[in-house]
Amino acid sequence: MEKKEDNSTENASLSDHNHQMIPSNIFFMANSMFDTPSEVDQKGSLGFIDMFNVQDYTSPSIFDLLQTPPVIPLQSQPLTSPPSTVPESSELVNNPSSPNSSSMSSSSTEAANDKQSKTVEEEEENDQEKTKQQLKPKKKNQKRQREPRFAFMTKSEIEHLDDGYRWRKYGQKAVKNSPFPRSYYRCTSTACGVKKRVERSSEDPSIVVTTYEGDKGGVKGKFTLLCILELHGRRLNIYQLTV
């Protein structure tokens, strides 16, 4: 975990060309991300707003986040209004009526856990029969739980922004009512269960919508990497912690 943070920070320096355009062009899609807010989301999550209400971005406490895993002094607050204060010179594209926010919050299946059980079954299965039948199994009663999810919009020509983690693309789908496909990535760093989707806004092709979903394994609570900012030459990872 901590090492990962360090690595990501290091990696960031390798891709400054990406990050340079982030700070002034990043827009969050706040509440709409939690379309069906689970109890977990409601109760114990530290919304990005908490962080962004930190007045001074040059404050050392913020940059501490760079070095240490997000140990977040949270009082649980419900996510309320969209950020009234946007980092520095952000353009305001994040109007709540953005149709994308609804598309981002469309229902999803969370297959992370399923896959594990699937794998087990697969081994018991006949090798020849290993096709897609594997997905049939049990887990009837279990309603899939949605992982904490967060999206933000970035004005960028580059779709897959380098956030310091390694991602493997595992799918791409055409999006309804959008000429742009949506790409699915899975974090390949060890013990990182985060997935993300990247798609370009159909309304404004210059805007890339990135949605992070999942948690980092082995951590108490769930850390969701919200975004990476680069401010005053420093790299800043913004997380959401769900306890």
Partner DNA sequence: CGGCTTTGACCCGCGC
Partner DNA sequence: GCGCGGGTCAAAGCCG
Q: How far is the CB of 140 from DNA (least distance, A)?
A: 8
Q: Where are the beta strands (DSSP E) in 22-180?
A: 26-29, 149-155, 167-174
Q: How far is the CB of 124 from DNA (least distance, A)?
A: 14
CA distance to 33, 36, 145, 148, per residue, from 108 (Å): 12, 11, 10, 12
Which residue, 155 or 182, is less far from DNA as judged by CB? 182
- 């401010």: which residue's tokens? 231
Q: How far is the CB of 239 from DNA (least distance, A)?
A: 20
Which residue, 22 or 112, is less far from DNA as judged by CB? 112
Q: How far is the CB of 176 from DNA (least distance, A)?
A: 4
Which residue, 54 or 120, is less far from DNA as judged by CB? 120
CB 235 within 8 A of CB 228: yes
CB 184 within 8 A of CB 199: no
Q: How far is the CB of 152 from DNA (least distance, A)?
A: 16
Which residue, 93 or 194, is less far from DNA as judged by CB? 194
The pair of three-digit structure tokens given for residue 83, joined into one six-digit string: 């950020």
Q: How many CB atoms lie within 10 A of CB 1?
A: 15
Q: How far is the CB of 234 from DNA (least distance, A)?
A: 27
Burial-class residue 44 by CB neighbours within 10 Å (0-12, 13-18, 19+).
Answer: middle
User: What is the distance, to the nearest Å, from the Cα of residue 182 to the centroid of all Cα atoms in its chain?
Assistant: 15
Q: How far is the CB of 243 from DNA (least distance, A)?
A: 23
Which residue, 36 or 84, is less far from DNA as judged by CB? 36
- How far apart are the C-alpha atoms of 144 and 232, rounded to whole Å? 41
Which residue, 90 or 134, is less far from DNA as judged by CB? 134
Per-residue b or e along 75-92, where b marks 16 or more CB atoms closer than 10 Å to that residue's CB? eeeebeebbeebbeebee
CA distance to 6, 213, 217, per residue, from 64 (Å): 12, 24, 22
Which residue, 118 or 234, is less far from DNA as judged by CB? 118
**Which residues sit at the interface with DNA, rule CB under 7 A?**
103, 106-112, 114-115, 118, 122, 130-137, 144, 166-176, 182-184, 188, 195, 197
